């Protein structure tokens, strides 16, 4: 058992997701029956996390083949529509493209089933790869009795045990790690809402902090490492991740605290030479200055709201994948 | 007219404050009639901002003399009670001690009136000193068309035009500054609630950002300076300010963006050799993982919640007071 299940595939018919915007207050399942529903769920962040967006890409393509038909033209439109629902996590567009390529090798009549099987395999692979990543990562952070993490990178973000949170869980199961600090992660509070909920469910002792307190925490010596996931890793190791990661990286470097990135190989985009080539999603101003129904800022407040920032490779001590641990200078095999 | 009036003294009788915990949704006046009310208002952050805490110290001592009596023993108890209501801002305890010293030079019967006059002078001095600080600071940031600020340092924090926000206002009035970026400032959101409200009232074009987006903003080249207030400045220039300032300072330094501190001379504590000697207030876990009536984190979540952090002097380009602009290495005259 890997923990919470953020997504379930019901063969040929529907995708059931846990609506993450409502957590931890309410655990509500939503049924997606068409491409529009898949895109809406992705854009509203009902499902999120780069690896889980990959799952949604694969599963969304399968659903498209069943509901829209499996002719090449229709599948190409679906791959573009779903793949561009959010721009930064490469796993999403890559999963759509891979599914499209796989489908086009089949006769049209065989495509829906082939795509569904592919999506189910994608889910199964996440579970196996997360476990492998966790084991490799637990070696990397073996000396850290406490770590700081940002955003949510657990079961909710992947469908397996998670990336960075999977590493934390593996280190906790080994007994080397005894405490996890998590940022709130404004504006959408994935750390406060999702990571703290997962850590509580796992029984891992955890402490929440405002994003503003991260630098004070690192300066205090309480954490032996900072570990996060990634949304896209460029060929040189520059890494786009949830906004705020870059600030953590700069402060950690000043204090000699290593920053580790945990992400599946599917997050590495060797077609992207460096971080400056990674498209960054800017989200609506309304996400800032309030949350849910509450508004704190005056009405009409303008906001600067990038969903991600880019941490240069020079600030990253290691990139942990399911296959191996990369150390600087980062050189990835073609994938 | 300096803008909003966060505190009004009604001679010998009461202190009227604007309850800042309710802003910007509601502008409610609260009347404080005794020392308990003063302490509660300070601890609950109904009044906040280091310079305004100095005003509260002076005014609270005057109120104590009227309501508790002006015998030395009673005044000493009041100075301790009010002065320790919050530990980090030196202005508060210093204002209480100064008022006590002044009172003890008078006959007991003359003390209440002397203390009230002293408090009124304290308020008047804030207005004059903020204006002087603003003029000096506007010279310092003359080349920055946009700046980033943190927390609230405006009229609400001082009773004058403010410290860092007073400098921003002065630069805006001169026409050198055209835009102000403000952090939300978790956990109590003084930036989103108070600074954006003041900037809107002043008509200064402004953009709010989640604290997590500060590093991306600085890296983007959009701001020519970061400017904040201070709660206590040690003799070597190390500066305690709202938690999150240190992280901004580290990122700004990496990008060659100067960090300026604007604070009255009363915030400099030459009795404190360095930042490690500054007491840091830790606040309740309940402030993290929620706001107002809303809770986002699971029930019972533990939190790391320092109200302040310390920025080492080496990261500060200048400290702007009402008297002069200090540049590193910082050497302050006795005060």
Q: Mean pLDDT throughout B222-234?
A: 98
Q: Which tokens sit at B81? A: 């009670």
Q: Is the pLDDT of residue A73 over 70?
A: yes
pLDDT digits (tens, 9 = 90+) for A222-269: 999 999 999 999 999 999 999 999 999 999 999 999 999 999 999 999
Chain B nearest CA to A128, separation (Å): 29
Provide the pLDDT for residue B334: 59
B231 carries an active-site annotation: yes
Rounded Cα gap, residues A218 and A222, in angstroms:
6
Report yes or no on whether pTM surpasses 0.90: yes
Q: 């004058």: which residue's tokens?
A: B160
Q: Is the pLDDT of residue B270 over 90?
A: yes
Contact A197 B298 (CB under 8 A): yes
Provide the pLDDT for residue B48: 96
Label residue B234 exposed, middle or buried (CB < 10 Å: 0-12, 13-18, 19+). buried
Confidence of residue B228 (pLDDT cuts 50, 70, 90): very high
Q: Is the pLDDT of residue B63 over 60?
A: yes
Please answer whether residues B304 and A181 qualify as being in contact, where contact means their C-beta atoms are separated by less than 8 angstroms. Answer: yes
The candidate with the shortest Cα–Cα distance to A294, out of B207, B292, B287, B28, is: B292
Which residue of A191, A209, A291, A296 to mutate against B (max B Cβ within 10 Å)?
A296
| Phi–psi pair at A227, nearest 5 degrees | -135, 130
Calculate ∠ Cα A104-A106-A109, nearest 5°: 110
Instruction: Spot the catalytic one: A91, A98, A130, A231.
Output: A231
Q: Is the pLDDT of residue A333 over 90?
A: no
3-state secondary structure of B170: helix
Confidence of residue A2 (pLDDT cuts 50, 70, 90): low
Chain A residues 282-321 with a CB less than 8 Å from chain B? 285, 288-289, 291-292, 294, 296-298, 301-306, 309
pLDDT digits (tens, 9 = 90+) for B172-223: 999 999 999 999 999 999 999 999 999 999 999 999 999 999 999 999 999 9
B32-44 CB burial, b ≥16 within 10 A, e <16: bebbebbbebbee
Label residue B12 left, alpha or beta by phi (over 0 means left) and psi (-120 to 50 means alpha).
left
DSSP β-bridge partners for residue A192: none
Q: Which tokens sit at B141? A: 């940031």
Interface pTM (ipTM) of the complex? 0.96
Strand extents, DSSP E, chain B: 7-10, 14-18, 29-32, 146-149, 179-183, 206-209, 225-228, 232-234, 239-242, 259-262, 268-269, 290-291, 294-295, 308-311, 318-320, 325-326
Those residues with Cβ within 8 angstroms of residue A9's Cβ, 6 or more apart along the chain or in another chain: A15, A16, A59, A62, A116, A119, A120, A123
Provide the pLDDT for residue B110: 97
Q: Is the pLDDT of residue A334 over 70?
A: no
Which residue of B147, B193, B212, B283 to mutate against A (max A Cβ within 10 Å)?
B212
Please answer whether residues A256 and A221 qualify as being in contact, where contact means their C-beta atoms are separated by less than 8 angstroms. Answer: no
Rounded Cα gap, residues A214 and B299, in angstroms:
22
| Phi–psi pair at A262, nearest 5 degrees | -115, 120
Q: Is the pLDDT of residue A3 over 80?
A: no
The answer to whether the Cα torsion of A148, A152, A155, A161 is positive or negative is negative
Rounded Cα gap, residues B303 and B290, in angstroms:
11
Those residues with Cβ within 8 angstroms of residue B191's Cβ, 6 or more apart along the chain or in another chain: B149, B150, B151, B152, B182, B183, B184, B185, B208
Confidence of residue B13 (pLDDT cuts 50, 70, 90): confident
- Which strands form B239-242's sheet, in the order they lie side by side? B268-269, B232-234, B239-242, B308-311
Q: 């795509």: which residue's tokens?
A: A115
| Number of CB atoms found within 10 A of residue B90's CB | 26
Contact A243 B213 (CB under 8 A): yes
| Number of CB atoms found within 10 A of residue A271's CB | 12
Chain B residues 23-62 with a CB less than 8 Å from chain A? 24
Confidence of residue B3 (pLDDT cuts 50, 70, 90): confident
Rounded Cα gap, residues B306 and B249, in angstroms:
17
Q: Which tokens sit at A153? A: 């990178």
Q: Mean pLDDT throughout A285-289?
A: 97
How big is chain A by its Cα radius of gyration, in Å? 19
Chain B nearest CA to A75, separation (Å): 37
The answer to whether the Cα torsion of A130, A132, A134, A140 is positive or negative is negative
Contact B291 A296 (CB under 8 A): yes
DSSP β-bridge partners for residue B69: none
Q: Mean pLDDT throughout B245-267?
A: 98
Provide the pLDDT for residue B93: 97
Provide the pLDDT for residue A12: 79
């Amino acid at each position: 058992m890997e923990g919470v299940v953020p997504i379930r595939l019901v063969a040929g018919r529907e995708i059931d997701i846990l609506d993450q915007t409502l957590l931890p207050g309410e655990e509500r399942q939503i049924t997606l029956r068409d491409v529009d529903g898949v895109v809406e769920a992705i854009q509203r962040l009902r499902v999120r996390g780069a690896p889980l967006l990959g799952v949604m890409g694969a599963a969304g393509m399968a659903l498209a083949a069943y509901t829209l038909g499996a002719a090449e033209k229709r599948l190409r439109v679906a791959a573009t529509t779903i793949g561009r629902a959010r721009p930064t996590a490469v796993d999403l567009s890559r999963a759509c493209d891979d599914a499209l390529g796989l489908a086009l090798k089949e006769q049209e009549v065989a495509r829906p089933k082939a795509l569904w099987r592919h999506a189910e395999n994608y889910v199964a692979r996440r579970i196996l790869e997360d476990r492998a990543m966790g084991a490799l990562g637990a070696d990397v952070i073996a000396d850290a009795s406490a770590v700081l993490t940002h955003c949510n990178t657990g079961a909710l973000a992947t469908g397996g045990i998670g990336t960075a949170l999977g590493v934390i869980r593996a280190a906790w199961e080994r007994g080397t790690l005894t405490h996890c600090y998590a940022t709130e992660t404004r504006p959408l509070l994935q750390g406060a809402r999702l990571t703290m909920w997962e850590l509580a469910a796992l029984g891992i002792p955890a402490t929440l902090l405002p994003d503003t307190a991260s630098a004070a925490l690192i300066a205090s010596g309480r954490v032996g490492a900072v570990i996060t996931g990634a949304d896209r890793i460029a060929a040189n190791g520059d890494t786009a991740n949830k906004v705020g990661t870059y600030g953590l990286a700069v402060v950690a470097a000043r204090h000699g605290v290593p920053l580790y990135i945990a992400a599946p190989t599917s997050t590495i985009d060797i077609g992207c030479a460096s971080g400056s080539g990674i498209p960054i999603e800017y989200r609506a101003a309304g996400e800032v200055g309030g949350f849910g129904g509450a508004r704190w800022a005056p009405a009409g407040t303008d906001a600067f709201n990038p969903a991600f920032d880019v941490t240069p490779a020079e600030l990253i001590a290691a990139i942990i994948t399911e296959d191996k641990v990369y150390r600087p200078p980062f050189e990835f095999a073609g994938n």
